[in-house]
Structure 1
Amino acid sequence: MKLTKGILIWAGLVAAVCVPLATAAASPLLEWRGPIYILACFAGIASLSLVLVLPLLVGGFLPGLKGYLGRRAHFWTGVALLVSLVVHVAGLWVTSPPDTIDALVFASPTPFSLWGVIAMWAIFAAALMATLRRRLGFAPRTWRIAHVALAVVIVTGSVVHGMLVEGVMESASKAVLCALVLAAAIKAMLHLRVWR
């Protein structure tokens, strides 16, 4: 029974990540786009998928990845998120520098850019804070409050950005992925009682 439950959880996570990628790969919008733009798009989808995995790891909800293993996997998943985000932004920069600059300085007329950039800066802040945690001597409570606050910004910004972008992601699978990201984050916060 426990093995079956574990297999179902992992299968559900794989489906939640792979279905949006597969439907995006079949998008007719890719036919007129260059390889760098396509790479940037898929790096964005990968980033959103990694935002789903992070709270599942920190909450200990993935079979075989609890305790120390879960924390290490959470760290390396955060690193993967940072890399995929940089690829996403760099690819968009190469294909359209003026639009990327407008987004980064909050001058873009498109609301999805605002939310994406807010999430991006929160990811950079979380990465910097994790890197300097010991040097700065954060107390555990201070670290937890700051990290959770940034996680809330990351999840909110990523989901709103993803839902507002009308791109290669198919609408239904994108909505399901975004809903799962929100649900995982809320479940992790309730499970860990982060408000204490």
Structure 2
Amino acid sequence: MTEWRSARAPLIWVALAIAIGAPIAFAAGSEQLAWRGPVYILAGFAGIIALGLVLVQPLLIGGYLPGLSAYRGRRAHHWIGGALALAIVIHVAGLWITSPPDMIDALTYASPTPFSPFGVTAMWAIFAVALLALLRRRLGLRLRTWRVIHIPLAIVIVAGSVAHCLLIEGTMETISKAALCALVLAATIKLMADLWRKRAFRGESP
């Protein structure tokens, strides 16, 4: 059993690297990049990286990644949350530079593209979580209150990000994109189920 666990640990990390790296690699080889400027390309890849970071977040907070203590997992979750917010800023700023009218339509929920409102909603949820995380101590939010706020926002982030990604027909390759989105959903559902079971075991209301 010990040997299996020690052998499984690097496999989990390799699988995570492939899950995130494969969509990036396929997108880098897309023929559509020939028609895009460098700012647009940077914005697009920032969005892909952001989706990969969304996958990492539930894995960290759930303790599913081997070799990380609970404390280190929480710290990494905190810093990667900041990196996620930064990636979204780069994504949106790049798209704004390349096409301000389209971004105005998107941010005001007036865009005719079906993927736009999902991405914008996920973006605001990410910014809300990042801001509350920065102000949590100043606001005096207890852990229970923080979870009541954070968990619904996290669900919005995941659902919005996945819908946004799946509805876009761009540089991302279809199968690797779908696989990454499926993993994001699976990791989030797994975490929500585990949290619910822990709270039920302690006799807390779900």
Amino acid at match of 2:118: W
Unaligned ranges ≥5, structure 2: 200-204
Match of 2:81 in 1: 78
Match of 2:52 in 1: 49
* Post-superposition offset of 1:145: 1.3
Residue 152, structure 1, aligned to residue 152, structure 2? no
Query: 1:62-107 deviations in whole A, cap 9, x for unaligned?
Result: 0112310000000011011011100000000000110011100111
Alignment RMSD: 1.0
**How many angstroms apart in 1 are the aligned matches of 2:158 and 2:36?**
28
* Post-superposition offset of 1:190: 1.2
Match of 1:128 in 2: 131
Match of 1:22 in 2: 25
Match of 2:202 in 1: none
Query: 1:135-192 deviations in whole A, cap 9, x for unaligned?
Result: 1111221110110010000000000000001110011100000000000011111122
1:108 to 108, 111, 118: 111
2:145 to 142, 145, 170: 142
Query: 1:10-47 deviations in whole A, cap 9, x for unaligned?
Result: 01000000100000001000001110000001000000
Unaligned ranges ≥5, structure 1: none
Match of 2:5 in 1: 2
Structure number with larger C-alpha Rg? 2
For normalisation by structure 2, the TM-score amounts to: 0.93
For normalisation by structure 1, the TM-score amounts to: 0.98
Structure with greater contact order relative to length (CA < 8 Å, sep ≥ 6): 1
* Post-superposition offset of 1:122: 0.1
**How many angstroms apart in 2 are the aligned matches of 1:64 and 1:92?**
38
Amino acid at match of 1:99: D
Match of 1:35 in 2: 38
Residue 192, structure 1, aligned to residue 204, structure 2? no
Query: 1:102-146 deviations in whole A, cap 9, x for unaligned?
Result: 100111011101000000000000001111111111122111011
Secondary structure at the residue paired with 2:115? Answer: helix
Match of 2:93 in 1: 90
Identity of aligned pairs, percent? Answer: 62
Residue 63, structure 1, aligned to residue 66, structure 2? yes
4+ residue runs of structure 1 moved beyond 6 angstroms? none
**How many angstroms apart in 2 are the aligned matches of 1:139 and 1:22?**
41
Amino acid at match of 2:119: G
- Residues 65 and 73 of structure 1 are in contact (CA less than 8 Å); yes or no, is this contact kept in structure 2? no
How many residue pairs match? The answer is: 196
